[in-house]
Amino acid sequence: MTRGRATREGIPTPIMAQYYAQRCDAGLIISEGVAISPQGYGWINSPGIWNDAQVEAWKPITKAVHDHGSTIVAQLWHMGRMLSPGVTNVPSVAPSAIQPPGVAHGPHGKSDYPTPEALTIPQIHQIVKDYGIAAKNAVKAGFDGIQLHAANGYLVDQFLRDSTNKRKDEYGGSPQKRLRFLKEVVEEMIAAIGAERVSVRFSPNGEIQGCVDSHPEEVFIPAAALLQKLNVAWLELREGSDDASFDMAGQTHQKKLSPEIRKVFHNPLVLNGDYDKESGEEALKLGKADAIAYGRLYINNPDLATRFKENLPIDTDIQPTSFYAAYQEDKTSGYTDYPFATKK
Contacts 24+ apart (CB under 8 A), 105-109: 105/44, 106/44, 107/8, 107/44, 107/326
Could you confirm whether 324 is annotated as catalytic?
Answer: no
Q: How many CB atoms lie within 10 A of CB 170?
A: 11
**Identity at 165, one-letter amino acid code:** N
The CA–CA distances, whole Å, from 187 to 6, 57, 122, 129, 216 equal 29, 27, 17, 10, 23
User: Is the Cβ–Cβ distance between 37 and 78 less than 8 Å?
Assistant: yes
Cα 342 to Cα 326: distance, rounded to the nearest angstrom = 31
Beta bridge partners of 238: 272
H or E stretch covering 32? strand 28-35
Pairwise CA distance, residues 251 & 245, whole Å: 8
Give the whole-angstrom CA distance, residue 124 versus residue 121: 5
Nearest to 333 by CA among 37, 43, 72, 15: 15
List, as one string, the DSSP characters of 244-285: -SSGGG-B-SSPP-HHHHHHH--S-EEEESS--HHHHHHHHH
Fill in the amino acid letter for 283.
A
In angstroms, the CA 161 to CA 212 distance is 6
Active-site pick, 113, 154, 324, 335: 154
Q: Which of 142, 143, 160 is nearest to 151 (CA)?
A: 160
Phi and psi at residue 326, to the nearest 5°: -55, -40
Local structure of 201: helix, strand or coil: strand
Residue 333: alpha-carbon gap to chain centroid: 23
Catalytic residues, which ones?
Answer: 154
